[in-house]
A and B are shown apart, each in its own frame.
Chain A
């Protein structure tokens, strides 16, 4: 994902809060996804933001600022099972009218006791 930038690795403590940031290209932008991927498994969908603001889903929340080309995933009350890679992906419309979703390389989160 050459247009997406997110930290490579993060470490956080069980029970704490962690924020994973993502910046993306704004040209043709139509939406921002977050996926979770545990080691050795396929990615699974977490959230999708198309409007500015914060969307909350239980312990996970996702924020988007379209004008800044910025998003973050907020994980509260961290649990050991949250140790995984978190992938940011943007949805861009191209000149042919097609929508393409491009993934970043992911942020590997390690939750420690």
Chain B
């Protein structure tokens, strides 16, 4: 079956421009997570959605970052006025969230963002 997909796979942008990253979760998965991973570093939690609501936005690094999810499916992560320190791989994951043992997160391939 189809896994989590993300687009674009690579994005090169100039400092100060806005970018939009897209995540298509596995069909039927109600939970969706965004992470950021800089080169050689661990996963940095950004935000997660349960359905269309975002109970935890604590990981968003600044007000330049925002995310939305409509229809309980596709999510977009927007970074405004990009800075060089925003360069990283942005990973999306989804999970079923239907019971105590079903929170396995399935990751997409990521979007590699490079800000020049």
Contact = CB atoms under 8 A, between A and B. Distances in A.
Interface of A: 1, 30-31, 33, 35, 42-45, 48, 50, 85, 87, 89, 91, 94, 96, 98-106
A50 B41 CA distance: 27
A19 to B, nearest CB: 19
Contact of A103 (B42, B56, B109, B110): B42
Given A42-B110, A94-B56, A96-B55, A31 B35 contact: no
B56 A100 contact: yes
B109 A42 contact: yes
Contacts of A33: 103-105
B97 interface: yes
A48 B95 CA distance: 13
A42 B45 contact: no
